[in-house]
Amino acid sequence: MSKPRLGFIGLGIMGRPMVRNLLKAGYEVTVWNRSEPGIAACVKEGARKAASPADVASKCDIVLSCVTDSPDVRQVYLGANGVIETIRPGMIAIDMSTISPAVAREVASALQAKGAKMLDAPVSGGEKGAIEATLSIMVGGDAETVASVTPILEALGKRIIHIGPNGMGQTVKLCNQIVGALNDLAMCEGLILAAKSGADVSKMVDAVSAGAAGSWAMSNLAPKILKRDFSPGFMVKLQQKDLRLVLDTAKELQIALPGTALVNQLFQSLEGKGCGDEGIQALVKALEQMDGAEVRG
């Protein structure tokens, strides 16, 4: 049985290495991006160029996308020259962006009216923007559709977790972003107390990582802080985009997330200092300024 022809929309820091991995896995990939350089880079690696999202959909069997935010997903799927104009019954769309669960459901519903299926499939763990085999993919949609595209998803991430119906991939991604942001704050407040107390901070990181307060953040982000390395990883401004989605969802659900609201404000102060393009470990600088400390080790 021959491989399905793939389309890919959105060739940014996440999308480009995804296309590379799909090409490596032997798929034919037709691509489109809002700006030309992303397209050129992918064409050089073997992808085919399309003129619009609609053109992508007309030239493939399965459309993937990875764009920035909810309005972008609406635009490339439902806007002028969007996927919806040419998608055919039986086709599948897989959106790997992190967006609002409500918008994920809305777009899935619009495609379903055309006889197509959609999955929301945001990814986690893409530190460094590099797509490595360690990515987790959280999938929302029907089980049969998920099963049918699993080989494709396995070319993009190591763990494919089918959470539930449409929107649930996004919901769990947002949960993930809450936890990541607050683990980051946890690490930073711990580091501040250590530094301000005159402790050997690298030994503190070593000791804490080993036990019941351990986290991915403590093991992976704290060592960067000790070297004053604030390069991203995962950018503050993208974390903030995701926390906005979280807080909008909490508003819809009418629930209080007081810790998330606090860390969102601290990151906002950090953006005001011009640190939006740094990695989320830069959160420590918001506390350092407040507390007159500097964490080194």
Task: Kindly state whether residue 204 participates in binding a copy of itself, applying the rule CB under 8 A.
Answer: yes
Contact stretch for a copy of itself (CB under 8 A) within 1-9, 49-57, 72-80, 263-271: 263-271
Spatial separation of the C-alpha atoms in residues 236 and 181, rounded to whole Å: 10
Of 260, 279, 295, 297, the one binding a copy of itself (CB under 8 A) is 260
Task: Kindly state whether residue 89 participates in binding a copy of itself, applying the rule CB under 8 A.
Answer: no
Please state the three-class secondary structure of 82-150 as a single string: CHHHCCCCCCEEEECCCCCHHHHHHHHHHHHCCCCEEEECCEECCHHHCCCCCCEEEEECCHHHHHHHH
Task: Give, as ranges, the residues between 95 and 124 that touch a copy of itself (CB under 8 A).
Answer: 101, 124
Contact stretch for a copy of itself (CB under 8 A) within 7-15, 16-24, 49-57, 207-215: 207-215
Task: Kindly state whether residue 223 participates in binding a copy of itself, applying the rule CB under 8 A.
Answer: no
Residue 46 vs 125, nearer CB to a copy of itself: 125
Over the window 266 to 285, marking each residue x when it contacts a copy of itself by CB under 8 A and - when it does not, the resulting string is: x-xx-xxx------------
Task: Kindly state whether residue 130 participates in binding a copy of itself, applying the rule CB under 8 A.
Answer: no
End-to-end CA distance of the chain: 56
Minimum distance of a copy of itself from residue 113's CB (angstroms): 23
Spatial separation of the C-alpha atoms in residues 235 and 64, rounded to whole Å: 23
Contact stretch for a copy of itself (CB under 8 A) within 36-44, 55-63, 105-113, 249-257: 249-257
- Cα radius of gyration rounded to whole Å, the chain: 20
Task: Kindly state whether residue 131 participates in binding a copy of itself, applying the rule CB under 8 A.
Answer: no
Residue 79 vs 276, nearer CB to a copy of itself: 276
Range 106-112 contact pairs with CB under 8 angstroms and sequence separation of 24 or more: 106/74, 107/73, 107/74, 107/77, 107/78, 108/141, 108/166, 108/167, 109/166, 110/77, 110/78, 110/84, 111/77, 111/83, 111/84, 111/87
Cβ–Cβ < 8 Å for 98, 118:
no
Minimum distance of a copy of itself from residue 295's CB (angstroms): 11
Question: Is 173 known to be catalytic?
Answer: yes
Task: Give, as ranges, the residues between 12 and 71 that touch a copy of itself (CB under 8 A).
Answer: none
Task: Give, as ranges, the residues between 161 and 200 that touch a copy of itself (CB under 8 A).
Answer: 161-164, 168, 171-172, 174-183, 185-187, 189-194, 196-197, 199-200
Catalytic hit among 173, 203, 241, 273: 173
Cβ–Cβ < 8 Å for 106, 113:
no
Residue 108 vs 257, nearer CB to a copy of itself: 257
Say which amino acid occupies 244.
R
Say which amino acid occupies 105.
R
Spatial separation of the C-alpha atoms in residues 6 and 132, rounded to whole Å: 20
Residue 32 vs 267, nearer CB to a copy of itself: 267
Catalytic site positions: 173
